[in-house]
Amino acid sequence: MHRKDRGLIKELLKQTTPYDWLLLFFLIIVSLSGLISMKKFLPSGSLVTIEVEGREVYKLSLFQDRTVEIKGPIGTTVVEIKGQRVRIVESPCPNKICIKQGWISRGAIVCLPNRVVVTVGSGETTGGIDAITR
Amino acid sequence: MKKVLHILFSLTLAFLLLSCHKESDRIFKRSEFLMDTIVTVTVVSSSAEDADRAMNRVFQELKQMESLLNFFSTTSEISVINNAAGKHPVRVSDTTYNLLSLAREISEKTEGNFDITVGVISHLYDFLKKSHPSDSDINRLLPLVGYKKMELNSDKKDVFLQLKGMMIDPGGITKGYAADRAVEILKAEGIKAALVAVAGDIRGYGLKPDGKGWIVGIKDPRDSSEEGVFAILELRDMAISTSGDYQRFFIENGTLYHHIIDPKTGKPAKGLISVSVVGPKAAYTDALATALFVKGSVKGIKMVEALGYSAIIVDNKGEIHFSEHLKKMLKLLKHRISGSLED
């Protein structure tokens, strides 16, 4: 049975023309471009959310340049939004890992010692819901 | 040679396929703090510049609107009208005039269940300090409530509150009105689809790039998490607003005090815990949700239906009722609301 299968595959490969490979290549490209276009349908991250000890203190636009000071348990963290990017400028934490992370335009910066989390997201809610009426 | 040509052909085809997506529609979203709440504008556009320009205009105009209509700002036109109560009429901008005539129109259509002149009593409820007016205060102030005592002169574009001490608080319609104005601006800017959410007052038009309408969830009135919803519906060229007892409240000696004040009693309305109204204009859905909540009965649903709007109601037993018209659009994630409010 297996030998028969192998034989069939060999026979198929023998019959493969450059056009078949071309078709395969074409299909790969089509699926790749599908993946890229999927990404474009996702909303661009434009909402900066700042949380202290799990409590949301700011929801800001990534498009509006500004600097805010956030009071955490060990001191003041300074967050700067500029040119559609965000960073932590000053922090009372010992290692300054959050400052070293530099500018981000997506994802998050976490300052564990001062319990500050800065997230750039779309503000999208769960489960494909575009907005909630409350 | 032939082989090379074929490869070139397929590469060109792939390039075309990829590049055509550059012109395809994308979703752009921006939120700002305005009108004491978060305003989120989501637009569908093939160009980031177009989306940005349109959103800039919306936020600019809403800021201006806020400065005219803010009840708490001493320089707003609303405050000027309130300060001139019983003294003289005040000439106002088109924005303020149109809002007040719309508010009056809805008051008439809802037999006074929506009434912006309740401001004189409602501002005495402080949900941060957990304080409320006494019964004697309410009884003293009730004669100052009544939309018929707000005179609007369409020729002079002025507003006059007949009695000294009267106060209008357009908070129950401003957010919806702002959402309508935002949609007007976005349409004028050539944006073919958008969703505007001024807090819970939401209006959407057009379709998303995936060909679907805007999916809106209705907050579960007894789920304290931000994301808890009990129903979802697809908005296509429609607005939706919700009024609920859970939005601003405190509990004192077992009595719930919330922010939706019945203009007839001066006290928080009873009977329902959440009302959502769906229909063409957000100013209407906003005000009608309040009116229906104040009416306090499931039978009130007919009042909004007579005006061409639909409603979803949660009564104080947690049962969900909705207009027949919404049967196909509405997807219930829960069939009953349970739990209680925690202070």
pLDDT tens readout for residues B253-281: 999 999 999 999 999 999 999 999 999 99
Q: What is the pLDDT of residue B30?
A: 84
B31-35: which pairs have CB atoms within 8 A and are 24 or more residues apart?
B31/A46, B31/A47, B31/A59, B31/A61, B31/A123, B32/A61, B32/A64, B32/B59, B33/A59, B34/B59, B34/B62, B34/B63, B34/B66, B34/B198, B35/B62, B35/B65, B35/B66, B35/B70, B35/B174, B35/B175, B35/B178, B35/B198, B35/B199
pLDDT in tens, A1-48: 567 778 888 888 888 888 888 888 888 888 887 766 554 544 445 778
Q: How many CB atoms lie within 10 A of CB B51?
A: 25
Sheet containing strand A85-90, edge to edge, reads A66-72, A75-82, A85-90
CATH 1.10.3980.10 domain locations along chain B: 72-169
CA separation for the pair A10, A4 (Å, rounded): 10
Residue A25, domain member (yes or no): yes
Q: Which residues contact A65 (CB under 8 A, 6 or more apart)?
A: A81, A82, A83
In this complex, do A46 and B32 lie within 8 Å of one another by their Cβ atoms? no
Interface of B with A in 206-265 (CB under 8 A): 208-210, 214-219, 227, 229, 232, 240-242, 244, 247
Q: Is A25 part of the contact surface with chain B (CB cutoff 8 Å)?
A: yes
What is the band of A127 on the pLDDT scale with cuts at 50, 70, 90? low
* A97 and A122 housed in the same domain: yes
Q: What is the pLDDT of residue B11?
A: 65
* CATH topology classification for B72-169: T-fold (1.10.3980)
* A57 and A117 housed in the same domain: yes
* A75 and A109 housed in the same domain: yes
Residues of chain B with pLDDT under 50: 20-22
Cα-only R_g, chain B: 23
Q: Which two tokens stand for residue B297?
A: 């009965």
Q: What is the pLDDT of residue A42?
A: 43
| CATH number of the domain encompassing residue A120 | 2.60.320.10
Cα-only R_g, chain A: 25
> What DSSP assignment string belongs to B283-318?
HHHHHHHHHHHHH-SGGGHHHHHTTT-EEEEEETTS
In this complex, do A130 and B210 lie within 8 Å of one another by their Cβ atoms? no
Q: What is the pLDDT of residue A49?
A: 86
Q: What is the pLDDT of residue B264?
A: 96
Q: What is the pLDDT of residue A128?
A: 77
* A55 and A6 housed in the same domain: no
Q: Is A43 part of the contact surface with chain B (CB cutoff 8 Å)?
A: yes
- Between residues A65 and A39, which one has the greater pLDDT? A65
As to burial, measured by CB atoms within 10 angstroms (0-12 exposed, 13-18 middle, 19+ buried), residue B49 is: exposed
Give buried/exposed letters for A94-131 (b at 16+ CB in 10 A, else e): eeeebbebeebeeeebebebbbbbbbbbbbbbeeebbb
CATH 3.10.520.10 domain locations along chain B: 213-343
Q: Which of B64, B62, B66, B65 is closest to B41 using CA atoms? A: B62
* A73 and A110 housed in the same domain: yes
Boundaries of domain holding A53: 47-128
* A13 and A66 housed in the same domain: no
CA separation for the pair B87, B80 (Å, rounded): 11
* A101 and A69 housed in the same domain: yes
Q: Which of B108, B103, B139 is closest to B267 using CA atoms? A: B139
CA A122 vs. chain centroid, Å, equals 10
Q: Is A29 part of the contact surface with chain B (CB cutoff 8 Å)?
A: yes
Whether the pLDDT of residue A125 is over 50: the answer is no
Q: What is the pLDDT of residue B241?
A: 98
CA separation for the pair B8, B104 (Å, rounded): 69
Residue A27, domain member (yes or no): yes
Residue A14, domain member (yes or no): yes
Q: What is the pLDDT of residue B111?
A: 94
As to burial, measured by CB atoms within 10 angstroms (0-12 exposed, 13-18 middle, 19+ buried), residue A36 is: exposed
How far B276 CA sits from the closest chain A CA (Å)? 8
Residue A113, domain member (yes or no): yes
- How many residue pairs bridge chain A and chain B with CB atoms within 8 Å of each other? 115
Q: What is the mean pLDDT of chain A?
A: 81
* A10 and A58 housed in the same domain: no
* CATH topology classification for B213-343: T-fold (3.10.520)
How far B20 CA sits from the closest chain A CA (Å)? 10
Whether the pLDDT of residue A54 is over 50: the answer is yes
* A31 and A95 housed in the same domain: no
* A101 and A115 housed in the same domain: yes
Q: What is the pLDDT of residue B1?
A: 54
Task: Count structural domains, chain A.
Answer: 2
Place of tokens 């100013």: B283
* A21 and A76 housed in the same domain: no
Q: Which of B82, B151, B86, B93 is closest to B123 using CA atoms? A: B82
* A88 and A121 housed in the same domain: yes
A29 contacts on B by Cβ (under 8 Å) = 10, 13-14, 17-18
Q: What is the pLDDT of residue A57?
A: 82
| Contact between A60 and A99 (Cβ < 8 Å) | no
pLDDT in tens, A88-123: 999 999 888 889 889 988 778 888 888 888 888 755
